[in-house]
């Protein structure tokens, strides 16, 4: 790679995000580290997204419009065009904080044996107001088991920077996945490379109506979980039977608990908890499992008291 090419390629897939895409692009342009390119792949937007992006046209920004093919395909399209030796991502409704790229480039330059780094992130609402939930970067090193099963590590896409070689080694995002495609990618990278964790907060992750849990289809969530579990069982035989069964049980508990938080989805939550026990019976001894059971018991008491 010659010296005229950027150090970092920032990939932004977007679809009908005219309300947020401008702020997302500006948060990249405002970085203290300026040796980057931005690749925006518009996945068939039908609103004013394209017009907002055109306001930012410069030599740093490449804009590609394509028919709607899904965010994984959009990211893969951008990966094929990326010229940077490091790859970063930003969802078009999220924001970088100003030091994000600079801190991560410094880490990657100093740690050539690491294939990827992620950071902590704040959560904000649609208007940018702070929310109590945060994502904390903790585990680092060879952390396949921590990443693959969502427990205890959830790596959020905008916090990631990875070497180009990492994607060349594992391939692109799975275009058959509508959920968990980012975790699936980190899972594959974590089998071949060390992962770095930076506790600094570098991103603002926006929560709004369109991406909140309660607006999702519970049947599609269950199908996505089973697709991901099948991939693990098919592709990760080398990590061992016990690691997979124990990890899959924890994954079921994690999402079972999340679905139990939505009253209309309680049956799906029970289903995942039952699957957890079948996958690894000793999961009933974990604190997470019993925490969910206590929540269920309290809910029953409240319902009975009302009857």
**pLDDT, tens digit (0-9, with 9 covering 90-100), for 62-79:** 999 999 999 999 999 999
Q: What is the rounded distance in angstroms from the CA atom of residue 22 to the CA atom of residue 115?
A: 30
Residue 134 has pLDDT above 60, yes or no: yes
- Quickly count: other Cβ atoms within 10 Å of residue 10's Cβ: 31
Burial of 238 (0-12, 13-18, 19+ CB in 10 A): exposed
Q: Is 86 within 8 Å of 7 (Cβ atoms)?
A: yes
Cis amide bond preceding 45, omega within 30? no
- Mean predicted confidence (pLDDT) in 254-261: 87
Residue 305 has pLDDT above 90, yes or no: no
Q: Is 218 within 8 Å of 265 (Cβ atoms)?
A: yes
Give the residue ranges of DSSP H helices in 117-180. Answer: 144-148, 164-170
Residue 307 has pLDDT above 70, yes or no: no
Domain at 8-211: CATH architecture: Alpha-Beta Complex (3.90)
pTM attached to this predicted model: 0.90
Domain coordinates in residue numbering, the chain? 8-211, 215-306
Half-sphere exposure of 194 (CA within 13 A, CB side): 10
């Amino acid at each position: 790679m010659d010296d005229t090419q950027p150090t970092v390629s920032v990939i932004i897939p977007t679809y009908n995000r005219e309300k947020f895409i401008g702020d997302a692009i500006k948060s990249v342009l405002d970085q203290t580290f300026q040796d980057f390119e931005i690749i925006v792949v518009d996945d068939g937007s039908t609103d004013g997204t394209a017009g907002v992006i055109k306001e930012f046209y410069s030599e740093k920004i490449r804009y590609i419009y394509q028919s709607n093919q899904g965010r994984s395909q959009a990211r893969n399209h951008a990966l094929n065009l990326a010229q940077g030796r490091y790859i970063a991502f930003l969802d078009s409704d999220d924001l970088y904080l100003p030091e994000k790229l600079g801190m991560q480039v410094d880490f990657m330059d100093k740690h050539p044996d690491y294939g990827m780094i992620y950071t902590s992130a704040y959560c904000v609402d649609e208007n940018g107001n702070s929310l109590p939930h945060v994502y904390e970067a903790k585990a680092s090193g060879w952390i396949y088991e921590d990443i693959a099963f969502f427990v205890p590590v959830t790596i959020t896409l905008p916090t990631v920077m990875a070497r180009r070689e990492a994607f060349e080694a594992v391939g692109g995002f799975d275009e058959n996945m509508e959920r968990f495609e980012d975790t699936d990618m980190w899972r594959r990278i974590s089998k071949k490379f060390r992962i770095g964790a930076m506790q600094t907060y570098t991103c603002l992750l926006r929560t709004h109506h369109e991406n909140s849990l309660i607006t999702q289809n519970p049947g599609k969530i269950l199908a996505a979980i089973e697709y991901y579990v099948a991939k693990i069982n098919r592709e990760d035989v080398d990590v061992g039977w016990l690691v997979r069964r124990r990890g899959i049980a924890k994954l079921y508990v994690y999402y079972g608990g999340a679905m139990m938080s939505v009253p209309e989805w309680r049956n799906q939550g029970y289903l995942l908890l039952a699957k957890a026990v079948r996958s690894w019976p000793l999961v009933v001894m974990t604190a997470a499992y019993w925490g969910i059971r206590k929540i269920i018991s309290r809910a029953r008491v409240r319902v009975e008291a009302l009857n």
